[in-house]
Amino acid sequence: MTRDGEQSRLLALERQIAAAEATLLELQAAILEARSERGLVAAADARLENERLQVENQLATREVVSANAALQVAVKASQTDSLTGLKNREVLWDRLGHDMALARRHGHRLIIYFLDIDGFKRVNDQLGHAVGDLLLQHAAAVLQTTVRGSDTVCRIGGDEFVVLVAAARREDATQVADKMARALAEPCLLAGHPMSISASIGYSVFPDDGDSPGVLVHMADEAMYRIKRAASRLHPPQPLLSRQQIS
């Protein structure tokens, strides 16, 4: 290699060394910056921000869970009678439509019972509303234990209940009504007062008596009042009757 060639090669190497040294100086400066107070503060700030974001995420998650729980409670409250825990009037129509659809699909019958407790006003007047509330709660518990879990028991107001029961035959309607009446008539003690609940029970049957929820409930209601009126003509009203009137 000529002298000129060696000098060119030497200059090229010197330029490469100078560039490498400059890069090294930049890296050293960056390391010093990171280790400096300003760098440590930036790192600490980043950690604090990360912790803050984690806390906010946990709080947001808790709020979502709490809001969902509150929503579920509100939905349940809107569908439940506060005194007895039964489904209320608003739910009745949804359940009735649902149960009618099942009865239609499976080819069986649905019995709609309308039930009224005899002498309930006199219980409130003579023994007080607190005892009347206990009577309603007791009646609700008895009705629930008398029918199957797949059947529906609703309190629609006052001392009136509607019970939806799936059945194979129309003849089953009277048997179930008698079963409910006998269960309600079992002696009980409410706030120290011995009682035997009497109920007037009317019913209609889907699809025999109609295909409209409103019509079927109205027919059951009318049947119940016919029984109650007939019984009142035959027997003077008593505070708590032990006789069951069934239709």
Q: Which residues are catalytic?
A: 159
- The residues near 93 (Cβ < 8 Å, ≥ 6 apart) are 213
Q: Taking Cα atoms as reference points, which of 100, 115, 119, 236 lies closest to residue 176?
A: 115
User: Can you tell me which residue has the tokens 């560039």?
Assistant: 19
- The residues near 170 (Cβ < 8 Å, ≥ 6 apart) are 109, 205, 208
Q: How far apart are alpha carbons 139 and 185 in whole angstroms? A: 10
Surface-to-core class of residue 188, CB atoms within 10 Å of its CB (0-12 exposed, 13-18 middle, 19+ buried):
middle
